Structure 1
Amino acid sequence: MTDTLISDLRTAYDAQLRDVTPPGDSARIENELDALIARQRDFYAARGEAVEMKTRAHDLPADLTDRLTAAGFVAEDTETVLIGRSADLAADPVLPAGVTLRRVTASADLQRIAAMESTVWGEDWGWLAGELAARIANGPENTVALVAGAGTEVVSAAWVVFQDGVDFGGLWGGSTLEAWRGWGIYRAMVAHRARLAAERDVRYVHVDASADSAPILTRLGLHAVTTTTPYVWSP
Structure 2
Amino acid sequence: MGISAQEIIKLHHLHERAGLEEFGFQRIVTDHTVRQIADGPQGSFISAFNAPEEYLDLIIQNEIDAFKQLKKGFEWKVYSYDNPATIGERLIHNGFREDDNESFMVLDLNTHIDRFSLGHSEALIPVRDASGVRKAIDVQRQIWQQEFDEFEISLCQRIEQRPETISMYLVQDDGQPVASGWITYQPNSPFAGLWGGSTLAGYRGRGHYRSLLAARAHEANARGIRYLTIDASEMSRPIVECFGFEKVSDTRGYHFEV
Fold match by TM threshold 0.5: yes
Whole-Å separation in 1 of the counterparts to 2:210 and 2:216: 10
- Give, in angstroms, the shift of residue 64 of structure 1: 1.5
2:118 corresponds to which of 76, 93, 98: 93
Q: Please report the TM-score for the alignment, with normalisation by the length of structure 2.
A: 0.80
Which runs of 5 or more structure 2 residues have no equivalent in the other structure?
20-49
- Give, in angstroms, the shift of residue 80 of structure 1: 0.6
Q: For residue 56 of structure 1, what is the aligned residue in structure 2?
A: 79
Match of 2:8, as an amino acid?
Answer: L
1:69 corresponds to which of 83, 92, 111: 92
2:56 corresponds to which of 26, 33, 40: 33
- Give, in angstroms, the shift of residue 47 of structure 1: 4.3
- Note if contact 2:75-2:254 (Cα within 8 Å) is conserved in structure 1: yes
Whole-Å separation in 2 of the counterparts to 1:213 and 1:149: 20
Residue 28 to residue 102, structure 1, CA distance change in 2 (3 Å): closer
Match of 2:193, as an amino acid?
Answer: G
SS of equivalent to 1:164? coil
- Give, in angstroms, the shift of residue 168 of structure 1: 0.3
- Give, in angstroms, the shift of residue 231 of structure 1: 1.1
1:172 corresponds to which of 195, 205, 208: 195
- Note if contact 2:72-2:257 (Cα within 8 Å) is conserved in structure 1: yes
- Give, in angstroms, the shift of residue 120 of structure 1: 1.4
- Note if contact 2:113-2:221 (Cα within 8 Å) is conserved in structure 1: no
Residue 152 to residue 107, structure 1, CA distance change in 2 (3 Å): farther
1:181-203 Cα offsets, whole Å, 9 max, x none, are 11111112111111111111110
Residue 10 to residue 28, structure 1, CA distance change in 2 (3 Å): closer
Whole-Å separation in 2 of the counterparts to 1:51 and 1:204: 27
1:81-106 Cα offsets, whole Å, 9 max, x none, are 0100124135441139xx52121121
Whole-Å separation in 2 of the counterparts to 1:67 and 1:213: 29
Q: For residue 18 of structure 1, what is the aligned residue in structure 2?
A: 17
Match of 1:89, as an amino acid?
Answer: I
Q: For residue 143 of structure 1, what is the aligned residue in structure 2?
A: 166
- Name whichever of 120-129 and 27-36 sits farther off: 27-36
1:195 aligns with 2:218: yes
Whole-Å separation in 1 of the counterparts to 2:90 and 2:178: 42
- Note if contact 1:143-1:161 (Cα within 8 Å) is conserved in structure 2: yes
1:152-208 Cα offsets, whole Å, 9 max, x none, are 421111111111100000001111112221111111211111111111111000011
Larger Rg: 1
- Name whichever of 186-195 and 160-169 sits farther off: 186-195
- Note if contact 1:102-1:146 (Cα within 8 Å) is conserved in structure 2: yes
Whole-Å separation in 2 of the counterparts to 1:122 and 1:95: 28
SS of equivalent to 2:231? strand
Whole-Å separation in 2 of the counterparts to 1:121 and 1:63: 30
- Give, in angstroms, the shift of residue 62 of structure 1: 1.6
1:23-54 Cα offsets, whole Å, 9 max, x none, are xxxx9844443322111112223444322111
Match of 2:81, as an amino acid?
Answer: H
1:124-143 Cα offsets, whole Å, 9 max, x none, are 33443212112213311120
Which runs of 5 or more structure 1 residues have no equivalent in the other structure?
21-26
Q: Please report the TM-score for the alignment, with normalisation by the length of structure 1.
A: 0.87
Tell me the number of residue pairs that the alignment of Structure 1 and Structure 2 aligns.
226
- Give, in angstroms, the shift of residue 57 of structure 1: 0.6
Q: RMSD of the TM alignment (CA)?
A: 2.3
